[in-house]
Amino acid sequence: MADDGVNTKVEAVSKATTETIELRTEDGGVFDVDKPVAMEFLILKSFYEDEGRVFDKTSIRLPNVKQLELSKVIEYCTRALEFGAKSAAAAGDKDAERMVRQEREGFEAEFVDELSNEMLKELILAVNFLDIKEMLDFLIRSVANRIRNRSVAYVRQFFDIENDFTPQEEDQIHQENAWAFEGVDAD
């Protein structure tokens, strides 16, 4: 019985019979996104709710988002909604809850593994623009994990940041914190 409930909810998310909205990316991509997923993009949600518009099949242009990013975002949000539904259906049953949690963690690990550093950054910019809180938090955590134990040089390269310290300033900071950095690998 619990399973049926989950299935119907999942179907509601993915079937084409639900309302969709068309999103256009800046590089010419066109996506038909289901309403529940689209409403995760708070930038869209406020657009519709505040303005009191009817949710019809209009097309919205997203100037700061590219195809590749949007497709990834849609993928994540769709799965996140599914997990949310499964979690709700499993509420109270600790084993089932644990399974859903593990499944989600597995998905998230795979999802982030496939992202290059560049892609990760682009996604953060896109998700920040679209204002998707949950996914932003997930991406940020992933970035923090990636730079956690890395050398300063790696971090600079990751974020494509220029070192704007003078050599003297750098030296000084290095002296201050010398004890923290002995043996850091140059990666």
Q: Least distance from C-beta 84 to another protein, angstroms?
A: 19
3-state secondary structure of 24: strand
Which of 8, 64, 71, 102 lies at the binding interface for another protein (CB under 8 A)?
A: 64
105 lies in the site for another protein, by CB under 8 A: no
Question: Which residues contact residue 98 at a Cβ distance below 8 angstroms, ignoring those fewer than 6 apart?
Answer: none
C-alpha 56/C-alpha 121 separation (Å) is 32
- Smallest distance from the beta carbon of 56 to another protein, in angstroms? 27
11 vs 170 by CB, closer to another protein: 170
As a whole number of angstroms, the distance between CA 133 and CA 48 comes to: 18
Tell me if 164 contacts another protein by CB under 8 A.
yes
Q: Beta-carbon neighbour count of residue 92 at 10 Å?
A: 8
Instruction: Specify the 3-state DSSP secondary structure of 105.
Output: helix
Binding footprint of another protein, residue count (CB under 8 A)? 43
145 scored as a contact of another protein (CB under 8 A)? yes
Q: What are the start-end ranges of the E strands in the chain? A: 20-25, 30-34, 59-62
What single-letter amino acid sits at 35? K
Instruction: Report the nearest approach of another protein to the CB of residue 13 (Å).
Output: 27
Binding residues for another protein (CB under 8 A): 64, 93-95, 121, 124-125, 128-129, 136-137, 140-141, 143-145, 147-152, 155-156, 159-165, 170, 173-174, 176-177, 179-185
